[in-house]
Chain A
């Protein structure tokens, strides 16, 4: 009876793993086929053909689009973290009236449906002359990176022992110095975590990227993949789509696998505490 239980357990584990990994595996499989081979359904690789991958970069736009995504995601993360560190210091260590309400307000911004700010943002971005510029994305992505980073960093800041801060005050350090030389080194893991999560979120973002960019060379990767179309209306180049998808996903998967511990703690810290 015990053997049946253990076998059943591991069967469950196998099912869980299979459902998690199969779609991506299949995408890789498809991307390695071309032409007619794609339309034969097979479960195991028959050929390894890299022509889809070559084709993806041939027109030069895809490479540019990847760079666009990298640029936007990186800059957004750096800027957000900069704002968030100072803000969370004030929110976590400096008692002032209405502090709880401001924190609540910040959190609630992350509840805004993206669509609700879309028209307003659209008008604003056009007015600022940022339409079709990557900076429009850097600006608008703050709507979800700022609340998240501030929230998580504030939680971490609260945990830093008060006595170390007091020792620094006794040593005569000004608040900025305290942040820079005492807190920042201690917050390092939290910064990595939130930075990673914000990066992933920014990389994945679709709606704003779709709406604010109008030319292919300016587009980011998610929009690019969504818009891949074939020579005619009825011909969807699945091979290319899968190849592009794999290219775009592999770095993310690598990031997540390497930093998984940090990512998990960041996700749950934000949610479980709240």
Chain B
């Protein structure tokens, strides 16, 4: 059958490794002897280490402060980034939806941030946000908004903001396009009817445009939200080894390869997978996506 080869490859490249990762999370595997891993149960997740004499401590992922810090970082990152991306994307989409000369050119150029490789974006912004020679600091000082240069990527307070900035910059075009597609599906005559009725444009937006574009918007938000939870590249390249920006993916990788806690890292990866999976399943049930193709378009 036509389907089989593709499914086999997909299974090999996705399902099997996922299973392996989950398995590793239950073992004591280490980078040097992966094959000799032994089953250790939930030890990586949670374990009570008894010191004797009624004292002890909880060990394991679920008791690890750094892990929960990573979770908080990731969620915070996702919420803030996606909110801004949606907001800016909406604004850009509304602008692009209006007819003005040069619209096609603008629409093309707006895509540029999305076209730039993530790593390159991180480097570019890293340079622009440089504490001594960065142009952002220079601009802010010239505009009188700050007095001394900010160490964007080094300082714990601003590191997360820096990461978010890059992500928002890079992904807003994608959201804008998605929302634009949704906007363009709204028939023109609705707007003309509203104009004939003399309705104030802000009300038109709130009562007509927004509800009609909501489906496309929601799709974008969910897709981007799930992406944001998995973020790795930007954080790793822009602000490596920074507590304030360590996301779940970064945390997992550090354990897997940098700290030689392979099993621990696998457990962390599994948890991340579960979180994403739960949200995805929840969303699918909520919208009951039609995949059988029985409905006509």
Contact = CB atoms under 8 A, between A and B. Distances in A.
- Assess A/B contact in the complex (Cβ within 8 A): yes
Interface of A: 9-10, 12-13, 16-17, 19-21, 23-24, 26-27, 30, 38-39, 41, 43, 83-84, 86-87, 89-92, 94, 99-104, 106-109, 111-124, 126, 139-140, 142-143, 146-147, 150, 158-159, 175, 200, 203-204, 206-207, 211, 221-223, 225-226, 238, 241-242, 245, 248-249, 252-253, 255-257, 260, 263-264, 267-268, 271-272, 274
Contacts of B121: 23
B116 A249 contact: yes
Contacts of A242: 123-124, 127
B124 A24 contact: yes
Given A16-B110, A260-B107, 12 more contacts: A13-B95, A23-B113, A27-B127, A86-B2, A106-B10, A120-B19, A120-B20, A121-B20, A126-B34, A207-B249, A238-B133, A248-B120
Contacts of A17: 106, 109-110
Interface string B128-157: 101011110010000000000000000000
Nearest to A179: B2
Nearest to A252: B115
Interface in B254-278: 256-257, 262, 265-266, 269-270, 272-273, 276-277
Interface residues of B, number: 94
Contacts of A92: 293
A142 B7 CA distance: 11
B68 to A, nearest CB: 17
Interface in B64-81: none
B232 interface: yes
Contacts of B252: 115, 118
Contacts of A43: 135
Nearest to B237: A226
A119 B266 contact: yes
A53 B18 CA distance: 42
Chain B CB within 10 A, most for which of A19, A158, A175: A19
B73 to A, nearest CB: 15
A146 B124 contact: no
Interface stretch (B52-60, B177-185, B202-210): B177-185
A113 B210 CA distance: 31
A24 B116 CA distance: 9
Given A13-B106, A41-B135, A238-B127, A20 B6 contact: no
A264 B34 contact: no
Contacts of B173: 20
A61 to B, nearest CB: 17
Given A115-B269, A116-B21, A252-B115, A272 B181 contact: yes
Contact of A119 (B13, B24, B219): B24
A115 B272 contact: yes
B123 A225 contact: yes
B192 to A, nearest CB: 20
Nearest to B18: A117
A225 B276 CA distance: 30
A175 B2 CA distance: 10
A221 B120 CA distance: 10
Nearest to B267: A119
B291 A103 contact: yes
A79 B14 CA distance: 16
A90 B5 CA distance: 12
Given A43-B135, A124-B16, A20 B124 contact: no
Give the top 6 A-B pairs by smallest Cβ distance, nearest first.
A120-B17, A120-B20, A116-B273, A87-B6, A86-B2, A268-B181
A183 B212 CA distance: 34
Contacts of A26: 124, 127-128, 135
